[in-house]
């Protein structure tokens, strides 16, 4: 960049210099041209004067020499002429201005015009070569002219013209050094030259490039060439005289012209050099700066890279430390701490799901004996194998952890039912009971004992679930090891028991093994009971009381639900009639209707028949349906529901929020109440999104003219919150647990005593 700039500067300088040279040469030529014009005019005028002298001389001869003196330059005051002489027709001297008796040189010259056949009117010396050219005096040019009287040649006039004198007049005209004025004749012989104040003559310029104008037709023009004997070229102009065969040149040495420019050129060059130097210095400075900056940058990048490496190292160490803290050092699966953390996340996810989450507590049977017999090394290898097998028998998102010693925990979510849980448990037992081969050379047979706790049935916190699974594990140990046990003892033979329950449904209904418990619903405003919900229980002769969670689904699966449902309707109506008979103010009783029942077109008739049978008004019976009732054959379900509504029953939408439909979608259904599912109520104080769902459900329901009931209200905080949110009615353990009819009877007798 800098170099380009310098190149440009020097290019500009050199073009400036050459432009200046051209200009200087042109100026010099122009000045020469002026001087040449003046000299040529002057010279023409001097030569022109010979005409006057010729005429005077003719008169002198005609008047037979009596007049004195005819032509005398001194007398005439003509400094350009040196001497003059007049010769008669025979060539004899008739008059001489020098008053000498003889004028041999002029006489010789006069004869050239006297005896020539057709003489020109003026002959200029040096042309004929008859006069010797003396370089010192050679600028004295002889001229001769014939004297004519009538038709006769009566004599000749001759004289010397002092061209040196003439040129000396221009001494003062400054053309600069090495300038010269020349007078050249038509053959290229230099008649006179004045250079640097000195007059000389005699150079032969014939046939030189310098005098090429001699042969040309141009009257004036430039001269540019080297004179013979000169070392350098001259430049200037020539000018030919109009009436005489003479040329004036005014020239200067080309080098002299150009030399005058030298100081200026040197100035230019110095200036260019200085600017270049400045540019170079600036560039150098910039380069140094840039290098320093680069150095700084490199340093910065360097330290940044070092920092990043350090940060990465720290990060890696942190991750490692965290993994160390959260992974079991021996088996590389999560430790107790990590299990709690992950399980809590999993449970909060499971809250929304209707599916089961199971916590398995595993303990190896007789592990202590193995440790004591084979040593800790083998014990450790065994634990590692157990961890590997656990991992292999579980799905990717299931959670396995070592709690410590020979205790492991497993959390499996998204299970359909108890049977699915049992399948997982059985699989774990089977996988962990396979022989452990070549543990440091020992083959071992070990079995696990597994305890199972279910979320949410057995607990909702991971602590609770784990401690209940632990307790169930002891049951498994007591039952002979190498097996699993549910925390809720009733589940321990699930599949067998399910089969038994299914086969017993019909008989159980007949034998009156089903009964209803009733849970009160209270008004949010004053907590006074406003209704009851009938919840079915199975009073099993062998298993004791079984809750609907275990058998409703079974009944649905085995087509017993319609019969069971009708049985419940009958029992509820009978109970209402019973309370009526006792003269109590009866609260309306809500009956849960499952999807299958709602697709039974006879349901409204059955209901009507039942009301009639027990002589109770339809307003004392309410219906609870869930959104899932409208998935299959929704038109039919809707039709049945409408018929029930027409009977005059209040209809509630149960478990609201766990389903799929928005409220507005259900607008067309004859629903008067929405029951918000208890999973939303549980965390309403802590979980912001739950709180938002609840309050927006309440306000939206109110907009649609629906009443809102909150289910599963367990704490005072929840009550306060729901009250503030504008909920209409509340139901939950905080107020009343489901209770047998006898307890409700007592309540109806003394409502005040039971008010919350
Ligand atoms: P559901 O209709 O949501 O009934 C409310 C359930 O919540 C009852 O459980 C009740 O005991 C329980 N509950 C009430 N307050 C609280 C509370 O504060 N905290 C907690 N954690 N739970 C509370 P239950 O009696 O075990 O009934 C379970 C489900 O079985 C019922 O849920 C209902 O869907 C079904 N069900 C019960 N009886 C019948 C019936 O006669 N027919 C049909 N088809 N289903 C029934
Ligand atoms: Ca219900
Ligand atoms: Ca419910």
- Diameter of the chain measured on Cα atoms: 200
- Establish whether residue 11 lines the binding site of ligand 1, counting it when its CB lies within 6 angstroms of any ligand atom: no
Q: Which ligand sits closest to the CA of 677?
A: 3
Task: Tell me the C-alpha distance between 393 and 405, whole Å.
Answer: 21
Q: Is 259 left (phi over 0), alpha (psi -120 to 50) or beta?
A: alpha
3-class secondary-structure state, position 605: helix
Task: Tell me the C-alpha distance between 538 and 115, whole Å.
Answer: 179
Question: 501-750 has which fold?
Answer: TIM Barrel (3.20.20)
DSSP lists the bridge partners of residue 234 as 225, 253
Kindly give the pairing relationship between strand 190-195 and strand 179-185: antiparallel
Task: Tell me the C-alpha distance between 706 and 671, whole Å.
Answer: 8
Is 126's pLDDT higher than 80?
no
Average pLDDT over residues 583-601: 94
Kindly give the pairing relationship between strand 707-710 and strand 673-676: parallel
Task: Tell me the C-alpha distance between 360 and 736, whole Å.
Answer: 33
Instruction: Write the pLDDT tens digit of every residue in 327-373.
Output: 888 999 999 888 998 999 889 888 877 788 999 999 998 888 888 88
Given this model, what pLDDT does residue 496 score?
Answer: 67
Question: 336-487 has which fold?
Answer: Alpha-Beta Plaits (3.30.70)
- Establish whether residue 123 lines the binding site of ligand 1, counting it when its CB lies within 6 angstroms of any ligand atom: no
Given this model, what pLDDT does residue 476 score?
Answer: 84
Task: Tell me the C-alpha distance between 38 and 44, whole Å.
Answer: 10
Kindly give the pairing relationship between strand 589-592 and strand 621-626: parallel
C-alpha 657 – ligand 3 centre gap (Å): 10
Given this model, what pLDDT does residue 723 score?
Answer: 94
Residues 6+ apart with CB under 8 A from 405: 367
Closest atom of ligand 1 to CA, residue 535: 38
Given this model, what pLDDT does residue 289 score?
Answer: 93
Is 738's pLDDT higher than 90?
yes
C-alpha 544 – ligand 2 centre gap (Å): 23
Decide: 619 and 644 in contact? Cβ < 8 Å: no
Other beta carbons within 10 Å of 103: 22
Tell me the two tokens of residue 511: 């034998």
Given this model, what pLDDT does residue 673 score?
Answer: 95
Residues found in the chain: 756
Given this model, what pLDDT does residue 751 score?
Answer: 67
Find the range with the poorest average confidence among 106-110, 236-240, 579-583: 106-110
Domain with CATH 3.30.450.20 in the chain: 45-161
- Establish whether residue 592 lines the binding site of ligand 1, counting it when its CB lies within 6 angstroms of any ligand atom: yes
Positive or negative: CA dihedral 99, 100, 102, 106: negative
Given this model, what pLDDT does residue 568 score?
Answer: 97
Closest CA to 95 of 79, 75, 122: 75
Task: Tell me the C-alpha distance between 233 and 246, whole Å.
Answer: 22
State the pLDDT confidence band at 131, using cuts at 50, 70 and 90.
Answer: very low
C-alpha 466 – ligand 3 centre gap (Å): 27
C-alpha 733 – ligand 3 centre gap (Å): 13
Is 388's pLDDT higher than 70?
yes
Closest atom of ligand 1 to CA, residue 597: 44
Decide: 577 and 614 in contact? Cβ < 8 Å: yes
- Establish whether residue 714 lines the binding site of ligand 1, counting it when its CB lies within 6 angstroms of any ligand atom: yes
Positive or negative: CA dihedral 207, 209, 210, 212: positive
Closest atom of ligand 1 to CA, residue 547: 26
Average pLDDT over residues 392-408: 90
- Establish whether residue 200 lines the binding site of ligand 1, counting it when its CB lies within 6 angstroms of any ligand atom: no
Query: pTM of whole model > 0.85?
Result: no
Q: Which ligand sits closest to the CA of 715?
A: 1
Task: Tell me the C-alpha distance between 318 and 310, whole Å.
Answer: 12
Q: Please, what CATH class does the domain formed by 45-161 belong to? A: alpha beta
C-alpha 544 – ligand 1 centre gap (Å): 18
- Establish whether residue 653 lines the binding site of ligand 1, counting it when its CB lies within 6 angstroms of any ligand atom: no
Decide: 452 and 359 in contact? Cβ < 8 Å: yes
Given this model, what pLDDT does residue 127 score?
Answer: 39
Name the DSSP class of 491.
Answer: G
State the pLDDT confidence band at 664, using cuts at 50, 70 and 90.
Answer: low
Average pLDDT over residues 565-573: 97
Tell me the two tokens of residue 320: 């490692």
Mark out the alpha helices in 327-417 (DSSP H runs).
Answer: 336-350, 367-374, 376-393
Decide: 517 and 548 in contact? Cβ < 8 Å: no
Domain with CATH 3.20.20.450 in the chain: 501-750
Average pLDDT over residues 189-205: 83
Q: Identify which of 19-28, 585-594, 654-663, 683-692 has the greatest average pLDDT.
A: 585-594
Closest atom of ligand 1 to CA, residue 561: 44
- Establish whether residue 536 lines the binding site of ligand 1, counting it when its CB lies within 6 angstroms of any ligand atom: yes
Task: Tell me the C-alpha distance between 656 and 115, whole Å.
Answer: 156
Other beta carbons within 10 Å of 410: 23
Q: Which ligand sits closest to the CA of 598?
A: 1
Question: What's the whole-number average pLDDT of the chain?
Answer: 87
State the pLDDT confidence band at 130, using cuts at 50, 70 and 90.
Answer: very low
C-alpha 187 – ligand 1 centre gap (Å): 146
- Establish whether residue 565 lines the binding site of ligand 1, counting it when its CB lies within 6 angstroms of any ligand atom: yes
End-to-end CA distance of the chain, in Å?
A: 95
Q: Which residues surround ligand 3, an ion (CB under 5 A)?
A: 654-655, 711
Percentage of the chain exceeding pLDDT 90: 38
Closest CA to 137 of 173, 96, 107, 105: 105
Other beta carbons within 10 Å of 231: 8
Domain with CATH 3.30.70.270 in the chain: 336-487
Average pLDDT over residues 431-458: 90
State the pLDDT confidence band at 119, using cuts at 50, 70 and 90.
Answer: confident
Task: Tell me the C-alpha distance between 51 and 373, whole Å.
Answer: 162
């Amino acid at each position: 960049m800098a170099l380009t700039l310098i190149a440009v500067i020097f290019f500009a300088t050199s073009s400036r210099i050459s432009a200046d040279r051209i200009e200087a040469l042109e100026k010099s030529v122009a000045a020469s041209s002026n001087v040449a014009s003046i000299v040529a005019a002057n010279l023409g005028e001097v030569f022109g004067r010979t005409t006057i002298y010729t005429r005077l001389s003719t008169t002198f001869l005609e008047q037979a020499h009596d007049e004195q003196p005819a032509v005398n330059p001194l007398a005439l005051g003509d400094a350009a002429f040196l001497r003059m002489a007049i010769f008669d027709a025979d060539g004899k001297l008739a008059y001489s201005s020098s008053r000498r008796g003889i004028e041999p040189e002029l006489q010789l010259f006069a004869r050239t015009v006297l005896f020539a056949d057709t003489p020109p009117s003026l002959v200029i010396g040096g042309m004929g070569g008859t006069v010797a050219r003396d370089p010192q005096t050679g600028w004295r040019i002889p001229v001769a002219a014939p004297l004519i009287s009538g038709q006769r040649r009566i004599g000749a006039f001759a004289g010397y013209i002092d061209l040196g004198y003439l040129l000396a007049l221009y001494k003062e005209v400054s053309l600069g050094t090495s300038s010269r004025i020349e007078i050249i004749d038509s053959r290229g012989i230099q008649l006179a030259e004045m250079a640097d104040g000195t007059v000389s003559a005699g150079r032969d310029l014939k046939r030189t490039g310098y005098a090429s104008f001699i042969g040309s037709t141009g009257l004036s023009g430039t001269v540019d060439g080297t004179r013979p004997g000169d070392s350098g070229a001259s430049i200037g102009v020539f000018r030919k005289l109009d009436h005489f065969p003479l040329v004036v040149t005014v020239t200067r040495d080309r080098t002299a012209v150009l030399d005058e420019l030298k100081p200026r050129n040197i100035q230019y060059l110095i200036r260019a050099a200085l600017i270049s130097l400045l540019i170079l210095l600036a560039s150098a400075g910039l380069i140094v700066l840039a290098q320093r900056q680069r150095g700084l940058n490199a340093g910065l990048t360097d330290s940044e890279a070092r920092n990043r490496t350090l940060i990465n190292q720290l990060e890696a160490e942190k991750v490692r430390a965290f993994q160390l803290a959260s992974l079991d050092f021996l088996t590389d699966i999560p430790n107790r701490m990590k299990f709690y953390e992950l399980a809590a996340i999993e449970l909060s996810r499971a809250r929304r799901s209707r599916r089961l989450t199971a916590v398995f507590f595993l303990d190896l049977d007789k592990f202590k004996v193995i440790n004591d017999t084979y040593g800790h090394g083998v014990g450790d290898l065994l634990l590692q194998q157990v961890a590997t097998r656990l991992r292999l028998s579980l799905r990717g998102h299931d959670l396995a952890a070592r709690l410590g010693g020979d205790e492991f925990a497993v959390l499996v979510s998204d299970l359909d039912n108890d049977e699915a849980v049992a399948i997982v448990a059985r699989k774990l037992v089977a996988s962990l009971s396979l022989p452990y081969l070549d543990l440091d050379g020992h083959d071992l047979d070990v079995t696990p004992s597994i305890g199972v706790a279910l979320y949410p049935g057995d607990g909702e916190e991971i602590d609770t679930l784990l401690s209940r699974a632990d307790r169930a594990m002891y049951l498994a140990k007591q039952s002979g090891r190498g097996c699993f046990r549910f925390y809720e003892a009733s589940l321990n033979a699930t599949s067998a028991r399910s089969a038994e329950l299914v086969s017993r449904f019909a008989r159980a209904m007949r034998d009156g093994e089903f009964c209803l418990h009733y849970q009160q619903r209270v008004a949010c405003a004053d907590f006074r009971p406003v209704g009851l919900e009938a919840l079915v229980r199975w009073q099993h002769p062998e298993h004791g009381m079984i809750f609907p969670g275990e058998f409703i689904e079974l009944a649905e699966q085995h087509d017993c639900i319609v019969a069971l449902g009708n049985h419940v309707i009958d029992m509820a109506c009978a109970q209402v009639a019973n309370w009526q008979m006792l003269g109590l103010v009866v609260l309306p009783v809500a009956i849960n209707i499952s999807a299958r029942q709602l697709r039974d077109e006879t349901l409204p008739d059955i209901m009507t028949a039942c009301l009639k049978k027990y002589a109770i008004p339809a307003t004392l019976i309410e219906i609870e349906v869930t959104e899932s009732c409208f998935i299959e054959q929704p038109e039919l379900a809707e039709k049945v529901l409408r018929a029930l509504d027409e009977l005059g029953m209040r209809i509630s939408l149960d478990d609201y929020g766990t389903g799929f439909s928005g409220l507005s979608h259900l607008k067309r259904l004859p629903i008067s109440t929405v029951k918000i599912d208890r999973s939303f109520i549980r965390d309403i104080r802590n979980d912001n999104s739950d709180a938002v769902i609840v309050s927006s459900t309440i306000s939206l329901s109110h907009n649609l003219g629906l009443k809102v009931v909150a289910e599963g209200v367990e704490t005072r905080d929840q009550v306060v919150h729901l009250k503030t949110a504008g909920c209409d009615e509340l139901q939950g353990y905080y107020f009343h647990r489901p209770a047998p009819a006898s307890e409700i009877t007592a309540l109806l007798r003394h409502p005040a005593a039971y008010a919350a």
